[in-house]
Amino acid sequence: MKLKSHVKYYLLRLFRLKAGTHSIAMGLTLGFIPHWFPTFGVGALLSLGLAKLGRGNLVAAFLGGALGTAIWPFLFFLNYKIGSLLFRRSTEITELKSAAHFDFSHLSIHGIGSGGLLFFTGALVNTLLSFLFMYLIVYTLFKKHRVNILYMLKRKKEPS
């Protein structure tokens, strides 16, 4: 299956869920949240656990976790950038592609701790902001536009 048909399939599954709007918005949001932090392979379990604790929909949490898994390098890059903005420090990571190959060998103990502080602070801020914005956006989409979006997704493209 092509990527486009995979995305369409999972969007259809998401918008066809019989759960309430709040439950779906909580599930998707809480499923995405753990991916701001390095979870070392247990991100999916954390996504489902957080959704269960927050009474969110588990299918929506799985899809939120899948989204977070797909874009985690960007999320980690954003953590460093937000942390460095808050502490007014510059980082040597200026591009997303350089984040994967950053050489830490020249840093002292204080430098590593400082980078960790930037990352963790950025992750906390990003977690709070993404929780608020994702919840509001998903809740609004499901509350006001669920039927219209389902109709658009189900429409078949006419052959040209």
User: Do 96 and 77 touch, CB atoms closer than 8 A?
Assistant: yes
Q: What is the pLDDT of residues 10-42, one digit of tens each?
A: 888 888 888 899 999 999 999 999 999 998 889
User: Which tens digits make up the pLDDT trace of 125-156?
Assistant: 999 999 999 999 999 999 999 889 888 888 86
Supply the pLDDT for residue 108: 47
- For 6, the token pair is 């995979």
Is the Cβ–Cβ distance between 30 and 64 less than 8 Å? yes
Instruction: Tell me the whole-structure pTM to 2 decimals.
Output: 0.76
